[in-house]
Amino acid sequence: MNEQTAVKEAAPAQTRLPDAQTVTEVQHYTDRLFRFRVTRPQSLRFRSGEFVMIGLMGDPDPKTGRQKPLLRAYSIASPSWDEELEFYSIKVPDGPLTSKLQNIKVGDEIILRPKPVGTLVHDALLPGKRLWFFSTGTGIAPFASLIREPQTYEDYDEIILTHTCRDVAELKYGADLVESIKQDELLQELIGDGLNKLRYYPTTTREESPRMGRITELLKDGTVFSDLGIDGISKETDRAMVCGSIGLNNDLKEILEGYGLSEGANSEPAEYVVEKAFVG
């Protein structure tokens, strides 16, 4: 799903937003990235890692005055136990939705269709020992949910979150999150020492930082493994979830298949799963 293939549904003009939720927090990171939190519908149940359709009303039709909801798929970045919902978004200057969405303020309403779906869920993977979360850009969103999910730490001995961005400022959302969850009292209570299993591996491609390069290249030349002190990726022990651009997803699929891992789905769990970072 992208800006061009968005779902549009007819709705009468002048009505209250359908499936309205209220914005409770907004934080801008760069001129390309921001995060926001909204109220959660009481009836909404989801599995950490899933996405929902969210959006705003589009501009009135010049002829009829009617407005249609403008919806896009967004991964829920908060865990399933959180009382609010969090989203992490790109700002596309001429994007029909994100050019408006980037202006939301606390107290504003957004539309949220309460039908969560997705493949980046624990159910789509066979049991394993080490879980990799490979992300680029806003593709970190589903993993922001999963690294706050107790099951992640119950099911695996080691969790490695890789995040590749163009520059250091774009890493801030993930860096702050990893730092904050290690200090979070509620998470300590839920997950306990398990949080120590989480390893964070940020890289940049267009600005100097302690670790530079695309994650795909760093896997191919073995840098990731020597940095983390592990032997490599194996079908027996390693499981992976991938979320980023189409290019990243395809390149990583090839790399993971090269290690003997095969792609899973809700209906047929296997060793890795992939989902596109939707808007951007």
- Is residue 142 a contact point for ligand A2P (CB under 6 A)? no
Enter the tokens of residue 219: 């896997």
DSSP for residue 137? G
For 181, the enclosing helix (H) or strand (E) is: helix 172-183
Residue 270 forms beta bridges with which residues? 125
CB of 217 to ligand A2P, least distance (A): 7
User: Of the candidates 48, 98, 136, 152, which one interacts with ligand A2P according to CB under 6 A?
Assistant: 136
User: Of the candidates 68, 100, 113, 166, which one interacts with ligand A2P according to CB under 6 A?
Assistant: 166
Q: What residues from 168 to 207 belong to the interface with ligand A2P (CB under 6 A)?
A: 205-206
- Is residue 211 a contact point for ligand A2P (CB under 6 A)? no
CB of 132 to ligand A2P, least distance (A): 14
Q: Which is nearer to ligand A2P, 124 or 171 (CB)?
A: 171
- Is residue 271 a contact point for ligand A2P (CB under 6 A)? no
CB of 135 to ligand A2P, least distance (A): 9
What order of strands is seen across the sheet that includes strand 7-8? 7-8, 69-75, 51-57, 109-117, 20-28, 33-39, 84-90
Enter the tokens of residue 12: 């009468």
Phi, psi of 133 (to 5 degrees): -110, 110
Q: How many residues does the chain have?
A: 280
Enter the tokens of residue 193: 């020492």
User: Of the candidates 216, 255, 261, 275, which one interacts with ligand A2P according to CB under 6 A?
Assistant: 216
CB of 125 to ligand A2P, least distance (A): 22
User: Of the candidates 248, 255, 256, 261, which one interacts with ligand A2P according to CB under 6 A?
Assistant: 248
Q: Which residues contact 86 (CB under 8 A, 6 or more apart)?
A: 35, 36, 37, 76, 77, 78, 144
Give the binding site for ligand A2P (CB under 6 A).
Answer: 136-137, 164-166, 205-206, 214-216, 245, 247-248, 251, 280
